[in-house]
Each structure stands twice: as C-alpha cells, then as structure tokens.
C-alpha cells in the first residue's frame, strides 16, 4: 500500500490501474509521482448553451474520479478529456 498523501494534490486524479512511479527506501514508500497528464471521462457538467461562442469561457465539470475541473463550454457529459495532474487544469478533449 502506498499512502495517498505521497501523490500530493494530484491524488484526486488517481484511478485504478494507472501506472505511477513510487520510490522506496527499504520496504517503505518515500515518494510517489503520477503521470504528467491523465485521460478522464466527464461524469457531470452543465449543458452547453446554444449560441455561446466565447472562446475563453469555462464551466465546472466533474470527472470520473470525483475531482472538479474547469472545462470549455463545448465539453459534455461522456466526453474524455486530458487533465494536467500538476495543475489540475483541462488540456484538451480526447478523440475516441
């Protein structure tokens, strides 16, 4: 078992089966690192408003791990997005 606190703030993007780097001293884990970005599915967000074309506008969204992030208005429930694990920010929509 690796304590969650070793992942820092990025722990909210951790999901089962993800490859991570863990450093050990003897049998004790001393540090852990997530990948620089992860692909997560949007489980909840408000629907986009037709005609709203503002390029820099963002809305709240919840991803499959339960974390909340800000995404562009065109992102919908079920979309997969790439999230920067260091900053917790949206990077891009992932094409299927």
DSSP state string for the chain: ---GGGGGGGGGG--TT---EEEEETTEEEEEE--SEEEEEEEEEPPPPTT---TT-EEEEEETTS-EEEEETT--TT-EEEEETTT--EEEEPP-
What is the percentage of the chain residues whose pLDDT exceeds 70? Answer: 92
Separation of CA 21 from chain center: 17
pLDDT at res. 56:
76
Average pLDDT value for the chain:
91
Do 39 and 81 meet the contact criterion of CB atoms below 8 Å apart? yes
Global confidence as pTM: 0.85
Taking only the tens place, the pLDDT of each residue in 22-56 is 999 999 999 999 999 999 999 999 987 666 656 67
Do 94 and 82 meet the contact criterion of CB atoms below 8 Å apart? yes
């Amino acid at each position: 078992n690796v304590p969650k606190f070793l992942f820092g703030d990025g722990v909210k993007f951790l999901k089962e089966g993800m490859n991570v780097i863990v450093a050990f001293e003897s049998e004790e884990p001393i540090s852990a690192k997530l990948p620089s970005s992860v692909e997560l599915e949007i489980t909840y967000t408000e629907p986009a408003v037709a005609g709203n074309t503002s390029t820099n506008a963002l809305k709240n969204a919840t991803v499959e791990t339960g974390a909340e992030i800000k995404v562009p208005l065109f992102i919908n429930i079920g979309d997969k997005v790439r999230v920067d694990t260091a900053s917790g920010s949206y990077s891009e929509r992932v094409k299927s």
